[in-house]
Chain A
Amino acid sequence: MSLSEQDLYIAGAIGFLTLCSVITRASFNLFGHRIPLSDKVRRALLYAPAAALTAIIVPALLPWVPGSNAALVDEKLFAAIIAIVLFQRTRSTIIMIVGGMVSFWLIQALFSFW
């Protein structure tokens, strides 16, 4: 079995993500007080995960390519809006994921009939 470039890339991604898990979870346990974590840094870290997650979600929902005439909005956005409303109403992520998925299929079917 020979490894393709893609296999190595995936293996590298898994390796680096494993490193992320070990560093973020175990470094305080291992090195304790030797890690400086000032209040300022803590405050910045408070906003980092939400900012990163949003920055992953937005291009996935609203992709655009310069110079392309492809539609800016599609069923992904509409289904996401329905999913968000469902979550606000029920506070249940399970209902949100199932409801969002079902809306996605329905809107997709609707668009193909258009």
Chain B
Amino acid sequence: MPDLNEPPLSSMQPDDFDFAFKTRRRAALKEGFLGIRPAIIPTATWGLVTGIALVKSGLTEQAAVIMTLLVYAGSAQLTSLPLIASGAPLWLIFAAGFIVNVRFLIFGAALQPYFKSLPWFKRLAYGYFTTDMSFVVFMSRFGHAPAQGTQEQRWFFLSMIVIGWLTWQISSLLGIFLGAMVPSAWSLDYAAILALLGITIPLANTRPMLVAIIASGCTAWVAQPLPLRLGLLVAVVVGISAGIWAEHRLNKGRT
């Protein structure tokens, strides 16, 4: 981490200032790279699988490319595929994407103090390019920092999100073009379900969460004849209620 005890920039001569500024910036950008480096291979693998799944689940190459470049959210994209394939209404696709992405609201609440001094378009950009991994790495490093919102912290973050964006986009575009070449008989659309399983299973790490997942899964299975894939919404409501109920019961059992 860059030394926080160095003299304030304003007390230096212009030449020193420029040099110190660049040195500090380079150090912070490098720290960001080192922080996000362990996530590069997993991110690239996800991107590749998501790219393949997009074209193998019925999207044209063109639509898949536009979706990946604009949406930039693997789990929401994978979630939308079965909904798009069955012609679900757009508001339900929006709702499903929102629910899957809702973790970013909570991340955003934690990150907000670090960016609040910036103009609105920069706050928008820092928010939009936030990823799971950059959030986790950033908070584990600066979550207890005495000062929140320093220039170093933002350079660190910027370095991570640029690398994250490049890694994801290059790998998922590669996946889209690979996917378009692979015959449909290979059933690579099944990889999309496996990828979703890979996101979901690690979430089942507490007992209430497991209860929520089982309740939602059973409801979703039973509710399949509902029109417009509305079973999804019913299952989410049942799952959330079951999770909160299980949490209450466990807390009572302990006291």
Instruction: State the A residues within 8 Å of B (CB).
Output: 9-14, 16-30, 32, 35, 37, 42-66, 76, 79-80, 83-84, 87-88, 93-94, 96-97, 100-101, 104-105, 108
Q: Does B243 lie within 8 Å of A46, measured CB to CB?
A: yes
Nearest B residue to A26, CB-CB: B127
Contacts of A66 in B (CB 8 A): 225
Given A25-B130, A56-B96, verify A43-B45 contact (CB < 8 Å): no
Tell which of B2-10, B20-28, B59-67 binds the partner: B59-67
Contacts of B116 in A (CB 8 A): 29, 32
* Least distance between B165 CB and chain A CB atoms (Å): 12
Instruction: State the B residues within 8 Å of A (CB).
Output: 42, 45-46, 49, 59-60, 63, 66-67, 70-73, 75-77, 79-80, 82-84, 87, 90-91, 93-94, 96-109, 111-112, 115-116, 120, 123-124, 126-130, 186-188, 190-191, 193-201, 203-204, 208-209, 212-213, 215-217, 219-221, 224-225, 229, 231-232, 235-236, 238-240, 243-244, 247
Can you list 28 contacts pairing A with B, beta carbon distance less than 8 Å?
A: A9-B90, A14-B67, A16-B90, A16-B97, A17-B80, A22-B127, A23-B98, A24-B108, A25-B130, A28-B111, A32-B112, A35-B109, A43-B244, A45-B102, A45-B103, A48-B102, A49-B75, A50-B203, A50-B209, A50-B212, A53-B196, A56-B196, A59-B221, A59-B224, A59-B231, A84-B197, A93-B198, A105-B187
Other-chain residue from B83, B94, B200 in contact with A50 (beta carbon distance below 8 A): B200
Q: Does B84 lie within 8 Å of A25, measured CB to CB?
A: no
Contacts of A93 in B (CB 8 A): 42, 45-46, 195, 198
Please, how many angstroms separate the alpha-carbon atoms of A51 and B236 in the complex? 5
Other-chain residue from B59, B107, B208 in contact with A47 (beta carbon distance below 8 A): B208
Q: Does B105 lie within 8 Å of A17, measured CB to CB?
A: no
Nearest A residue to B45, CB-CB: A94
Nearest A residue to B135, CB-CB: A25
Please, how many angstroms separate the alpha-carbon atoms of A54 and B199 in the complex? 10
Contacts of B96 in A (CB 8 A): 52, 56
Q: Does A55 lie within 8 Å of B111, measured CB to CB?
A: no
Q: Does B90 lie within 8 Å of A13, measured CB to CB?
A: yes
Other-chain residue from A30, A47, A50, A55 in contact with B120 (beta carbon distance below 8 A): A30
Q: Does B190 lie within 8 Å of A101, measured CB to CB?
A: yes
* Least distance between B24 CB and chain A CB atoms (Å): 24
Q: Does A21 lie within 8 Å of B105, measured CB to CB?
A: no
